[in-house]
Amino acid sequence: MPKPRRASQNNTPNNAPGNGQNSSGAAGTGGKPVDDSVDKSMLRFDPEQVLAGIVFHVIDEGLARGVRAESAVQAVARLRQRHHRPAIRRSAWLAMTHHDRLEWLLAESRMIPLVGEDDLVILSARDS
C-alpha cells in the first residue's frame, strides 16, 4: 500500500494566477472567521472555522478533493478539547496567500494533513 503524502507539499509559486494572494478568502462559516472581539484588528477562529478554512484551502490549492469526514469530526473534537481559538492580526491574514493561510491554520491547529489513495486528506494530530 502506497504511503500517504503530506498535503501541504505544493510547487505553485506565490505569484501564480489564482493563488489568492492578497484576497480575503473564505476561512470559515459564511466565508469569514469569527470576529466577535472588541478589537477589530484581530481575527479569531472557532474549531469549526479552522476546519472549514483547512478544507477550503486544501481544495483551493489542488492538494486533494476534500477531507475525510471522520477525520474532520476528530479534528474539531481535538480543537474543542484544547479550547483552542487561533487568532491573527487582520492585516497579516489579508497579506497572506491561500497557501500561507493553509500553513498557518495547520500550524495553529497542530495538524498534519496526509493524502490517502482516495485523494482525501486525513488530518492527523501533530505530536508536541
Q: What is the pLDDT of residue 43?
A: 94
In angstroms, rounded to a whole number, what is the distance separating the alpha carbons of residues 83 and 66? 25
Range of the domain at 55: 42-128
Flag whether 121 is in a domain.
Answer: yes
Flag whether 124 is in a domain.
Answer: yes
Flag whether 35 is in a domain.
Answer: no
Q: Which residue has the higher pLDDT, 9 or 74?
A: 74
Number of domains within the chain: 1
Asked if the model's pLDDT at residue 36 lies above 90, the reply is no
Flag whether 91 is in a domain.
Answer: yes
* Percentage of the residues of the chain whose pLDDT score is greater than 90: 65
Flag whether 101 is in a domain.
Answer: yes
Q: Which residue has the higher pLDDT, 19 or 37?
A: 37
pTM confidence score: 0.70
Q: What is the pLDDT of residue 68?
A: 94
Flag whether 27 is in a domain.
Answer: no
Q: Where are the beta strands (DSSP E) in 1-128?
A: 5-6, 42-44, 66-67, 87-89, 111-115, 120-125
- Please report, to the nearest 10 degrees, the dihedral formed by the alpha carbons of residues 95, 17, 24, 111 taken in order: -80
Q: What is the pLDDT of residue 39?
A: 73
Q: What is the pLDDT of residue 19?
A: 37
In angstroms, rounded to a whole number, what is the distance separating the alpha carbons of residues 34 and 124? 24
Flag whether 47 is in a domain.
Answer: yes
Mean pLDDT (whole number) for 40-53:
94
Asked if the model's pLDDT at residue 83 lies above 80, the reply is yes
Mean pLDDT (whole number) for 96-117:
95
Q: H or E stretch including 105?
A: helix 98-109
In angstroms, rounded to a whole number, what is the distance separating the alpha carbons of residues 88 and 109? 13
Residue with cell 481544495: 59
Flag whether 126 is in a domain.
Answer: yes
